[in-house]
Amino acid sequence: MNKKERRQAELVKIIETHGMLSMKDMASLLQVSPMTVYRDLNELKYKPDMTSPDSPGEDDKTSSSYNLIQAIQESNEQKERIGKFAAGLLHENDIIILDTGSTVDRMLPYIPENKNISIVCFNANVLAELRHKQGIHIFFAGGIYHPETELCESPEGIMFLKRLRANKLFLSAAGVHEQLGITCAKEYETATKKAIIESASMRILLADSGKFGRVCSSYFCDLDIVHRVVTDNKISDPWKQLLEEDGIQLDIV
């Protein structure tokens, strides 16, 4: 095996052991970049032989692992389409806020340069990507660094965000529920999310269809706070109807 094949075999073992993990979690376990994991998953999607059983009786596990790789890659492709579409909503002289989240991250390669766009962020990964962009202005709210989400947060950072104003917010969520609202997985995210919601005139939620109907532990806003939702084509008809009834613009990509 060469280096890439060994890494891909290790990725399969991680998926077999841990199940559905985020790109960042898999990258952290492999000590590579999320983009490397993305490319590996894309290759593994077409290489079922990578999960061939080592001993009799492992066929069920092998099939499950391969199907999970397919599901993870499909989710990544959904997020890629959402991120690309969202970046297409940017216009010259926009002032935008980028939330922490894997789907919002997918906007970064597509953000146009030299359009006099001002970007407010508080995520180390976002800052690392944006600093190479030409002709944009970055406002970064710092604080305590949380490696599992790349979020930087502090009381001073939250006050900084509250003093700023933006015409577009690209918001992320781990769960979207009709009665229980929009939620995230980490309690320390909520104060920052509430601050950016108050600071933006247009709030755009980027969420793949798997987030709808899901509830996570930390609530930060109601669904009707959102003006627009960008999601993939697997969103259910009841959710389409609900968003329409709430007056929320829906973009399916």
Is the predicted pLDDT of residue 58 greater than 90, yes or no?
no
Helices 155-163, 190-198: axis angle to 10 degrees equals 10
- Six token digits for residue 144: 């305590």
Mean pLDDT of 6-30: 82
d(CA 72, CA 62): 15
Question: Measuring CA to CA, how many Å separate 214 from each of 57, 210, 235, 246?
Answer: 34, 8, 13, 18
Q: Confidence class of residue 222 from pLDDT cuts 50, 70 and 90? A: very high
Q: Per-domain residue ranges for the chain?
A: 3-79, 88-252
Mean pLDDT of 104-108: 94
d(CA 240, CA 172): 18
- DSSP lists the bridge partners of residue 250 as 229
- Residue whose token pair is 């084509």: 233
CATH code of the domain made up of 88-252 = 3.40.50.1360
Q: Which residues contact 96 (CB under 8 A, 6 or more apart)?
A: 90, 117, 118, 119, 120, 166, 167, 168, 169, 170
d(CA 68, CA 59): 14
pLDDT tens-digit readout, 129-169: 999 999 999 999 999 999 888 999 999 999 999 999 999 99
Q: Confidence class of residue 53 from pLDDT cuts 50, 70 and 90? A: very low
Mean pLDDT of 118-128: 95
Mean pLDDT of 51-60: 48
Q: Confidence class of residue 188 from pLDDT cuts 50, 70 and 90? A: very high
Q: Confidence class of residue 67 from pLDDT cuts 50, 70 and 90? A: confident
